[in-house]
Amino acid sequence: MSSIESNKAIARRFLELVSEHKIEELCKMVSPSWTMHGGPPALPSGPDGIRKLFGTFGAIEQEWTIEDVISEGDKVVVRATNTCDQASFLGIPSHGRKQTFTAMFIHQIADGKIIETWRNADDLGRLLQLGARFEPGTPQAST
């Protein structure tokens, strides 16, 4: 299997394990220096970052459906859809509503381990599904 194909398999497996909530198996997939961009702030590096990331979810049932996997060099891009049932998201209670949102991940992979992940997800759309409402701010007076 080419390194590009094996990297694609690693990226697919990562989301499968997220869906299955298999935290310790995910920890084995990342390097000790793994970092995530676009997730919760101040995640530690490596496996401790995975553990803290899952600690932010609370009770959740989720399933990732992979739509596309594109790879070049040491990077793999995954476009996926998540359907989840989570008690709350960013402080907004779900009141039993399931959420569906899209996300893209770019994983940098070296020696069979994910060393860096960039996440871009439709968090605003998800909040709106939960009934969050936004009000325009008031302009500040000039000084």
| pTM (predicted TM-score) | 0.88
- Asked whether the predicted pLDDT for residue 58 surpasses 80, the reply is no
Over 70: is that where the pLDDT of 1 sits? no
Q: Report whether pLDDT(143) > 80.
A: no
Which of 108, 126, 101 lies closest to 11 in space, CA to CA?
108
- Pick 137 or 122 by higher pLDDT: 122
- Domain locations in the chain? 3-129
**How confident is the model over 56-64, as a mean pLDDT?**
86
3-class DSSP state for residue 12? Answer: helix
**H/E run at residue 102:** strand 99-110
Q: Is the pLDDT score of 18 beyond 90?
A: yes
Is 35 a residue whose pLDDT tops 90?
A: yes
Q: 14 to each of 64, 114, 124, how far by Cα in Å? A: 10, 9, 24
Q: Which fold has domain 3-129?
A: Nuclear Transport Factor 2; Chain: A, (3.10.450)
Alpha helices in the chain (DSSP H): 3-20, 23-29, 46-55, 123-129
Q: Which two tokens stand for residue 127?
A: 């909040």
pLDDT tens per residue across span 78-104 = 999 999 998 888 888 888 889 999 999
CA 74 to CA 15: how far, in whole Å?
A: 18
Q: What is the mean pLDDT of the chain?
A: 93
Spell out the residues 6+ positions from residue 99 whose beta carbon is closer than 8 angstroms to its own.
82, 83, 84, 85, 86, 89, 126, 129, 130
CA separation (Å) from 110 to 76, 135, 140?
A: 11, 45, 48
| pLDDT score, position 64 | 96
- pLDDT attached to residue 103: 98
CA 92 distance to own-chain centroid: 18
Higher pLDDT, 100 or 142: 100
Model pLDDT, residue 16: 96
Place of tokens 């594109």: 70
Top mean pLDDT of 52-61, 81-90, 91-100, 106-115 is at 106-115
